[in-house]
Amino acid sequence: DIQMTQSPSSLSASVGDRVTMTCRASQGISYYLAWYQQKPGTLPKLLVYDASSLESGVPSRFSGSGSGTDFTLTISSLQPEDIATYYCQKYDSAPWTFGQGTKVEIK
Amino acid sequence: EVYLVESGGGLVQPGGSLRVSCAASGFRFSDLWMNWVRQAPGRGLEWVANIKKDGSERYYVDSVKGRFTISRDNAKNSLFLQMNSLRAEDTAVYYCTAGHYGDFRGQGTLVTVSS
């Protein structure tokens, strides 16, 4: 099975910083990747699908890129409300594995 | 709007069985793959199983193969997960989700495996 590895596992940044996190697949998955945001005590929310398509209503400071094995989620200017854990998930073929998550905190 | 309501969770002893359900509305249920995703307390998201639109294909994460069975009833817009031989490590909130990606719409149902 294809493994999904996110890095870093956690990061701390200041408000206004550009934040980048990565998701690496152990084999190519084309563009079949989604990113989710889960704030403490809430349900996961879809941010990006098909690697780079922004879900409707998601702030434009979020962007996704990549294809094949290497993917990136970028927050162009970190805001206090972006404190959350971010997960990637592949859906090219079963199993539709999630990454282990990247926890974002404010410095 | 998509509505997903999970039910059927509870406390069960190790080795026991439980069937959780998901009632769907607001979309054409028979048009979408359906999934079960779980989240253990304080842990990350884990995809558990999914089923094709017509039920002809089913897939599972390795840790539940042979113990869990996913099924659906398109006439009743319902998704099910039969869980047998439950283990402590199956303790989690179980969510159903629709399609290949999308917001989690239900609050989930808590399954606790403990003696």
B39-57 mean pLDDT: 97
Q: Would you say B79 and B57 are in contact if contact means Cβ atoms under 8 Å apart?
A: no
Q: State the Cα–Cα distance between residues A91 and A94, nearest whole angstrom.
A: 7
Please give the helix or strand (H or E) that residue B80 lies within, else none. strand B78-83
pLDDT of residue B88: 98
Interface of chain A toward chain B, CB-CB under 8 angstroms: 1, 32, 34, 36, 38, 43-46, 49, 85, 87, 89, 91, 94-101
Two structure tokens written together for B64: 């539940």
- Read off the amino acid at residue A5: T
Q: Would you say B23 and B5 are in contact if contact means Cβ atoms under 8 Å apart?
A: yes
Model confidence band, residue B103 (pLDDT cutoffs 50, 70, 90): confident
Point out the residue among A45, A89, A94 whose CB comes nearest to the CB of B59.
A94
Two structure tokens written together for A87: 């997960």
Two structure tokens written together for B48: 């558990």
User: B101 and A91: CB-CB below 8 Å?
Assistant: yes
Cβ count within 10 A of residue A61: 14
Q: Mean pLDDT score of chain A, rounded to an integer? A: 97
- Which residue is closest to A32 within chain B, CA to CA? B100
Torsion angle in degrees (nearest 10) through CA of B30, B81, B24, B8: 160
Give the percent of chain B with pLDDT over 90: 97
Closest chain B C-alpha to A88 CA, distance in angstroms: 10
pLDDT of A22 over the 90 cut = yes
B73-83 pLDDT, tens digit each: 999 999 999 99
Give the percent of chain A with pLDDT over 70: 100
Model confidence band, residue A3 (pLDDT cutoffs 50, 70, 90): very high
Cβ count within 10 A of residue A56: 6
Point out the residue among A45, A87, A99 whose CB comes nearest to the CB of B103.
A45
Q: Would you say A68 and A29 are in contact if contact means Cβ atoms under 8 Å apart?
A: yes
pLDDT of residue B107: 95
Cβ count within 10 A of residue A2: 15
B27-36 mean pLDDT: 96
A50-98 pLDDT, tens digit each: 999 999 999 999 999 999 999 999 999 999 999 999 999 999 999 999 9
Task: Kindly state the DSSP code that residue A53 receives in the 8-state scheme.
Answer: E
pLDDT of residue B115: 95
pLDDT of A31 over the 90 cut = yes
CB pairs under 8 A between A and B: 52
Residues paired with residue A88 on neighbouring β-strands, in sequence order: A35
Main-chain dihedrals φ then ψ at residue B9, nearest 5 degrees: -70, 175
User: B45 and A1: CB-CB below 8 Å?
Assistant: no
Q: State the Cα–Cα distance between residues B45 and A99, nearest whole angstrom.
A: 8
B66: which residues sit within 8 A by CB, 6+ positions away?
none
User: A96 and B107: CB-CB below 8 Å?
Assistant: no
